Chains A and B, each alone.
Chain A
Amino acid sequence: MELQKKLSILSDSAKYDASCASGKSGDPNASGICHSWSSDGRCVSLLKILMTNICEFDCNYCINRKSSDVQRAIFTPREIAKLTSDFYKRNYIEGLFLSSGVVKNVDYTTERMIDSIEILRREFNFRGYVHLKLIPGADPFLIKKAMESADRVSVNVELPSSNSLELLAPDKSKEKIFNSMKTGRDVISEKRGTLTTTMTTQMIVGATDDSDKKIISLSENFYKRSFLKRVYYSAYIPVNEGKNLPATTSAPPLLREHRLYQTDWLLRFYGFNAEEIFKNRTTLDYSLDPKSDWALHSLGKFPLEINEAPYEDLLRVPGVGVRSALRIVKARRVGKLKKEDLKKLGVVLKRARYFLKVGGKYLGAVRFDYEPIKRSLLGVDKKRLVQPSLFEFNESFKEAITGEL
């Protein structure tokens, strides 16, 4: 099969993997660069392909499932290496994201993927970024080997409960997935200092009735125990018919995915835990961002005096992001802050005003209570609830990218 045809088939299939972050090879803290944006508004920074869409597994939600009647193709390791190197030199990409269906068996597939990376690194002298997808159940020795030449590896959790997995992806069991992640975690902890490889995972959102609380609690656990850099959430896109799947006419739950990402940010950057975000609910209130939602349910902690509140408390104010909180602390060293200063410091007063006071004076113009504040917040955010144009060129757009709330 001609290279063009292979690329056509194998890039089409890889796009549903949302993991897109790219870093600098060897420096997991450097921020990635977007080389382009596709028509779905997503950043393009990696050559994201499947090595093959041949697959022995029959996961219900996957377009390449064994029982599916799609055209199959497979790259040779050398083709993958040359394509990556050519694109990289022309500055189309920062690196390679390589996933794959299972050809023959899991170990053979993994070895072949490792081959591609080794040709890329050794023969083409490639020093760019490599993200390798690990298939659950691969031999731990191969996982270790993969981590030696990749900057990032991931094993997709896919679904947040073993029941869902059994229902939709019986070839991938919870044990296989977790064991692969444990191997990855052990390699990272063993070689801490010399190995800079990081690990992530992905969950599909909306393919089953697993709750937001379940998803976020699982993420929280991952961050605490498995040295995961990130969890990705991918709104379910119905490509297959199936009695256990949502209808093919259903729209992907983009708003829900967006709220889950915002909640994930609260866990990672704002010091929140799942318990306090959900309390005794299982679903987020999608009409509000999760930080505003939490603040509304925790009015006892507010309003905060902007000139006295410590950094950790400032972080919890809706409309005050990580950067604004830092700027506030820096600016306070020079003098007392006034209301006019806050906007200049990047605080989103539209939301923050209901939770702050300056020099003792409350900034919100309504009665300090749940109902009036919620009404004001919703009135302000009304235009944001129309799917799918979540991203408008103003603060809400910026927040979606930076994650700041």
Chain B
Amino acid sequence: MINYFYDGTFHGYLSTIFQIYFQKKEPTQILKERDSDGILGEYIFIETIEKEVKRVKKGIEEKLGSRSFYELKLLFLSEIKEFEMIGYRFLKVCFKNPLEKENLGNIDIKNFKIIVRRVLNERHKMLGFVRFEKVEDGFFFSQINPDFNQLPIIAEEFIERLRDEKFIIYDKKRGLSFFYENGVTFLTYASIDQEIKIDKEECAIKDLWKLFFKKIAIKERKNILLQNSKIPAKYRDNILEFKEN
């Protein structure tokens, strides 16, 4: 049993890939350092080295294309159990034969693609479900709770929309925040615990939206089943027209 341990970051994961090819020791498991308790077999601890990260990125992009590298990043953001091995098996097949990378008939490719698709589907939903409210110090604030780590791949999409404003998107479950003001952005671990005070005019705007939302439904075409399937309960807490209040 050969176990690779990395620091839990995306760059750490890429360094692991590099070392697997360098040391030529086939992994049984690829785990995060913090999960090293009680694992049997040989331990290989991976140090995150930027040179190696760059070489892996270059290798993947040249052999498989930048899209595949993006998909690997999406896999990482899925945070799914044992995604590390799924990613490794995908790369193993594709480095042997790059043509296989879209072949859903191959189980390793398919497993990889299924997760990527799930992350992308949620991303698409998130782009629609994010709701901002103006808070007292002029920030537009939004709270989200996605299944996968979406902030790194959705936050920048809002810069165009809120170009002239300042905004924060907060992933409560992960304690991750994205800030934007005057062209400057940063993504950071920062818990927001205090009570958010909303701007005076905000209630009026929210009421207008809820009114509009109610009015546009055509009774004769009522289809609650469809509505429920499109907006799962887990997201409704942060979507104001569905919040119980």
Contact = CB atoms under 8 A, between A and B. Distances in A.
Interface of A: 3-4, 7-8, 11-12, 14-16, 33-45, 47-49, 83, 86-92, 125, 127-128, 237, 251-252, 254, 327, 330-331, 333-334, 337, 341, 344-345, 388-389, 391-393, 397
B131 A90 contact: yes
A35 B105 contact: no
Nearest to B202: A90
Contacts of A87: 205, 209
Contact of A254 (B158, B212, B221, B231): B221
B104 A327 contact: yes
A34 B223 contact: no
Contacts of A91: 128, 130-132, 142, 158, 161
B40 interface: no
16 contacts: A7-B208, A14-B216, A16-B218, A34-B128, A37-B226, A37-B231, A38-B218, A39-B222, A39-B227, A41-B224, A42-B217, A87-B209, A91-B161, A125-B163, A327-B102, A344-B104
Contact of B212 (A11, A16, A334, A344): A11
Given A15-B215, A90-B134, 19 more contacts: A3-B208, A7-B211, A11-B211, A11-B216, A33-B127, A35-B128, A39-B227, A41-B221, A42-B218, A88-B161, A89-B140, A90-B209, A91-B131, A125-B164, A251-B220, A252-B221, A331-B102, A331-B103, A388-B222
Contacts of A49: 212
A237 B220 contact: yes
Interface of B: 97, 99-100, 102-105, 110, 124, 127-134, 140, 142, 158, 160-165, 205, 207-209, 211-213, 215-227, 229-231, 239, 241
A47 B103 CA distance: 42
A39 B217 contact: yes
A38 B127 contact: no
Nearest to B142: A91
Main secondary structure of the interface of A (DSSP, over half): mixed
Contacts of B212: 7, 11, 47, 49
A101 B217 CA distance: 20
Given A252-B220, A333-B99, A92 B225 contact: no
Contacts of B97: 334
Contacts of B102: 327, 330-331
A127 B162 CA distance: 10
Contacts of B128: 33-36, 45, 91
Contacts of B104: 327, 331, 344-345
Contacts of A127: 160, 163
A393 B127 contact: no
A345 B102 CA distance: 10
A15 B211 contact: no
A37 B162 contact: no
A126 to B, nearest CB: 10
B144 to A, nearest CB: 11
A313 to B, nearest CB: 21
Nearest to B230: A37
Contacts of A334: 97, 99-100, 103, 105
Nearest to B106: A334
Contact of B216 (A48, A83, A125): A48
A33 B99 CA distance: 32
Nearest to A35: B128
Contacts of B220: 237, 251-252
Contacts of A252: 220-221
B99 A8 contact: no
B223 A40 contact: yes
Nearest to A87: B209
Nearest to A344: B104
Contact of A89 (B127, B162, B222, B230): B162
